[in-house]
Structure 1
Amino acid sequence: MRIEELYQCFLQCDGISIDTRNITPNSLFFALKGDNFDANNLVQEALDKGASFVVMDNKKKLSNPDKMFWYADALMALQELAKYHRQQLGLPILALTGSNGKTTTKELILAVLSKKYNVKGTRGNLNNHIGVPLTLLSFTDETDIGVVEMGANHLGEIAHLCELADPDFGYITNFGRAHLEGFGSFEGVIKAKSELYDYLENNYKLAFTNTDDGLQDAKTMTFARYTFGTDEQNDLVIEKYDAQPMASITTKKTLFTSNLTGIYNATNIAAAVAIGQYFKIPIADAQKAVNQYTPTNNRSQWIEKGGNQILLDAYNANPSSMEAALDNFIQLENKTSKVLFLGDMFELGAESSKEHLALIQKLEGLDNLTTFYIGTHFFEHQKDSSREFFYKDYDSFSKAFQKNMIPQESLLLIKGSRGMALERILELL
C-alpha cells in the first residue's frame, strides 16, 4: 500500500492507537515491536476493541486484508504517514530540544501562544521517534501552530526527527551533561542538540536564541534568528531575571511572576515570552499566561505535607539539572532545616561515578542540611556522617526511613532520574 492510500484510511479515522490497552474507537492501529513485545500478535484484539484498521509488518498475521495493511516496517510506516500529514497541513511548526527544561518550556510556550492561536503540542514528554510522529498526526486543519518537543540520547536522532517534522522555527533550551552514555561526552551533547540548528540553517528557517547562553549565540549567528537576553541589542530585552522566591522576569517594563522555582525557569519563561512576542501575543496576555501556569507531573511542584514544604522535582535528573536544582534549593530561605532526597542519575556511562561524587562533594560542609542519597551510583561513595545517609536502592531507604528523621517545618527537595520514581517518598512523609 502506498503512503497516499494509507493517508486516506487515516483521514477516515479519529486518531492513532499503538496500545491495545487503551484503543481509541475508530482509530488506525500500528502494530509496533519492542525488545519485549510484538503488537503483531494483537492486531485482531485491536480490531475487536474498536480500531478500524491496523498496520502490521508480520505477513503471517495478515488475516483480514480489508482491515489489515502490511508494511515492511510498521514503525517506518507510522513515521512516513506523520511526515506526509505534516506536508499536507503546511502549518508552522516550532521544534524544541535541549538537555534540560524542554517540557516546562514547551508548556509555557503553549500557554502563551494559546492566548491568540489554536496551538497544539507534544503531550507530556512523548518526544522520541514514536512520540514525534504521534504528535504530528494529532495536528488538524484547525491547528494554527504546532509545537514539537524533540528528545534524543544518540547522535543523529534530532536530525531524523527534524526530517519528519520539517520545523519552521527551533529553540534549544540549553546544552547540559545529560545522556552522556549515548552521546559519549559533553561535546557529543552539543553536536547532537545542534542538529536542530543545522536543519534550520540548511532549510533557511529561524532559530529563537538566548544570547546570554554563549553556545546558543555563537551557533546561530550565521542564519535567521530572533534573540532575547539581557543585552540591549536583542529583539526582546530581558531587564531582570529573578528567583526569589519564585522564578520571574521583567521585560518591556512588565513583571512576569510564576509558580516555578529556580533561575533556570526564569530563562524558560523568557523563551516563552520571546516566542510570544514574535507571534504578536500582547504583552499583557503573555503575562497572564505565565502567571497562571502551574507545573504538574512531578516537575518543580510545591507541596505541603506534614508541616513541611516540599519541592517535588522527581521527573528526571542529570548532572546539569541536578546542580541547578541544588543551587536554587540552597539559596532558598528557611527558618529550621533543609532536607534533600537525591536519587541516582542514569545514562551517564563512564562519567557516572565522577558525576555522582561531584554532587556529594558539592554539598559537603553545608550547614543546616540533611541529605538522603538513594541508588547504587550514590551508594558506591557512601561514608559515615551524621547528616548524610546512603541507601543502595529505594527499598532499603523506605525500610529505614522514619518521619522523625526530619525536623518539623523543614524545607524538602526530592529529585532523581525517572527510573528512581522518588515521588513515592511522599507516601512516607
Structure 2
Amino acid sequence: MQPSGLFLYISFMKIEKLHELFLKFSTISTDTRKVTKDCIFFALKGENFDGNTYAKKALESGAKYAVIDDERFADSDATILVPDVLTCLQQLANFHRNFYKTKVIALTGSNGKTTTKELINSVLCTTYKTIATVGNLNNHIGVPLTLLAIKEDTEIAIIEMGANHQKEIEFLCNIAEPDFGYITNFGKAHLEGFGSFEGVIKGKSELYDYLQKDEKPIFFNADDELQANKLSNYINKFGFSETDSHYYNIQLKEADPFVQIIFENQEIVSNLIGAYNFINCCAAIIMGKYFNVSIDQIKNGIERYIPSNNRSQVLTQNTNEIILDAYNANPSSMKAALDNFSKLKTTKKIVFLGDMFELGSTAPEEHQHIAELTSALNFTEAFLIGENFDVTTSDLKTFKSFNELAVFLKTNTFKDASILIKGSRGMALERVLDLL
C-alpha cells in the first residue's frame, strides 16, 4: 500500500514529461524477460529482487528507457531517475487515464470478478472500442498497467480491482478514477486480511464510497439484500432483478449445466455452468443496456464467451463430464458450487474439494462447515484434500496432501460420472485431471 498523498509525490511537470515519452514509446515492461524493442522498462522492486539491478540488461535487450529509483544505476541518458518507481508507474497511469476521454468501469467483489469482467467486455466490445484487465492483474501494479493500455480510440476500459485489506479498493480508485462501478457480491473471501465478513463488506464498498462522492452511476444486483440496503438512498443506480419491476427484469431459465437466461423475450444460452454465473451474466446485460448495445449484440456477447483458465470449465474426459473450477475458492464460492452441482440432473456425482486459503483464524470453522455441507448433499463420493480439510470431522474421505490423493487414485477409477473439482489456486487441483 502506497501513501495516500501519492499524486503529490512526483511533480506534475515531471509526470507530464514522462507521459510525452510514453506516447512515443507506449509499451511498458516490468520484466527483462519480456522486454520488447523501444519499450519503457520500470524497475520495480519485490521482496526478493530489485529491478534497478536489471535496468542495464533491459536497455541492452532493446528498451528505450529504464525508469529507476536508485541513482547508482543512473549511468546513461536512457535511465530516468524518479523518487519511487512504483509510485511513478501509478501516477503515470492516472495521468494517462485522464489524458483521453475513455470511460472507466471498475468492478470488484468477493467472487466472480474475472468472469464478470470478461462477460462485460464481450458484450461492450460488440459496439465499442474496449480494453479490459488481462487475466486477473487487478492489484496496485496490474491496475496501472491496464490503464496504460488505453489508446486514443479506446472508448471504454473495464478495470478489475482485487483487494485483501481495507483501503486497497480506495487506493485503486484514486488511480483509476472510475466513472462507473459494480460489486459482484460480498463473500467470505480474504478473511485473514479483512478481519471479518463485515470487514469484507466495508473494504469492497470503498468502490461505492468513491462513486457516491460525485454521484456517479452504480450497477448492482437488486436481489442482493446486502447491496440493496447499502444503496437504498442512492439515486444514480441501475439494477437487475428477477422480481422487482423497478429494475431490469432478467430471468434464469435453467442452469443444467449451462446458464440459460430470458431477457426482453430473448433466450440467451451461455457457456457458463452454475446458477451463480447467472448474476455475472446479468451484470453484463444491464451494462449493455446502459450503453445502448442492441439486444442481439448483448445476446451475441454473452453466448460467445467461453470460460478458460480453470474457471467453471466443462470438460469431457473418457466417459466422465468434469466441471473444473480450480482457479480459486472461498467459503461463499464453495457453497455456491456445491449447491449448484447437487441440483444437476445426473445420478453419479463425484466431488474433489481442496483447501481454501487466506481464511486466518476462521479456517477450521469454515472448512468444517463445507465438510458438513458436502456430506449432507449425499454425493456418490466426495474427497477432501489439504491440511485444513484433513482435520475436519465428517464421513468423507480426506487426504492431507495431493500426493496422498494421487496414490489413492492409482487404484480407484471413475466412469460415467459427473465430477466437480474445486479448490484454492495454491492447491492446483487441475492436476486431478491427469490422475483420472
TM-score by length of 1: 0.96
Check if 1:277 corresponds to 2:277. Answer: no
Q: Which amino acid aligns with 1:187?
A: E
Bigger Cα displacement from structure 2, 127-136 vs 261-270: 261-270
From 394, 405, 421, the equivalent of 1:397 is: 405
Deviation at 1:400, TM superposition (A): 3.2
- The within-5 A match list for 1:234-313 is 234-313=246-325
Helix, strand or coil at the partner of 2:258: coil
Equivalent residue for 1:135? Answer: 146
1:200 paired with 2:207, answer no
Measured after TM superposition, the shift of residue 60 of structure 1 is: 1.4
Structure 2 residue 188 is the aligned partner of structure 1 residue 173: no
Equivalent pairs counted in the alignment come to: 423
Aligned to 1:117: 128
Provide the rounded CA distance (Å) in 2 between the counterparts of 1:173 and 1:341.
26
Picking from 357, 378, 385, the partner of 1:374 is: 385
Alignment match of 2:41 (pick from 29, 44, 62): 29
Aligned match of 2:91: 80
Shift of 1:241: 4.9
CA separation in 1, counterparts of 2:80 and 2:207?
A: 34
Distance 1:22 1:375 in 2: 35
Aligned partners of 2:290, 2:28: CA distance in 1, in Å?
32
SS at match of 1:247: strand
Q: Amino acid of the residue matched to residue 45 of structure 1?
A: K
Q: What does 1:34-49 correspond to in 2, within 5 Å? A: 34-49=46-61
CA RMSD of aligned residues (A): 1.4
Residue among 42, 62, 66 paired with 2:74 = 62
Match in the other structure for 1:422 = 429
**Secondary structure at the residue paired with 1:363?**
helix
Deviations 1:344-379 (A, max 9, x none): 111000110100010001122443421221111111
Q: 2:418 aligns with which of 408, 411, 427?
A: 411
Q: Identify which of 86, 104, 119 aligns with 1:108.
A: 119
Out of 179-188 and 212-221, give the one that drifted further: 212-221
Q: What is the DSSP-based 3-state SS (H/G/I as helix, E as strand, rest coil) of the residue aligned with 1:260? A: strand
Q: Partner residue of 1:352?
A: 363
- Contact kept, 8 Å, 2:351 with 2:379, in 1: the verdict is no
Alignment partners' CA distance in 2, 1:382 and 1:392: 13
Asked if residue 20 in structure 1 is aligned to residue 28 in structure 2, the reply is no
Q: Which runs of 5+ in 2 are unaligned?
A: 1-10
1:89 aligned residue: 100
Aligned to 2:257, the other structure's residue is in SS state: coil
Q: Please show how residues 188-227 of structure 1 align to structure 2 within 5 Å.
A: 188-221=199-232, 222-227=234-239
How far has the Cα of 1:203 moved from its partner?
1.9
Q: Deviations over 1:199-219 (max 9, x none)?
A: 000022110011001121122
5+ residue gaps, structure 1, are: none
Separation (CA, whole Å) in 2 of partners of 1:220 and 1:368: 39
**Amino acid aligned to 2:136:** N
- Check 1:365–1:322 CA distance in 2 against 1; reply closer, same or farther (3 A cut): closer
The corresponding residue for 1:314 is: 326
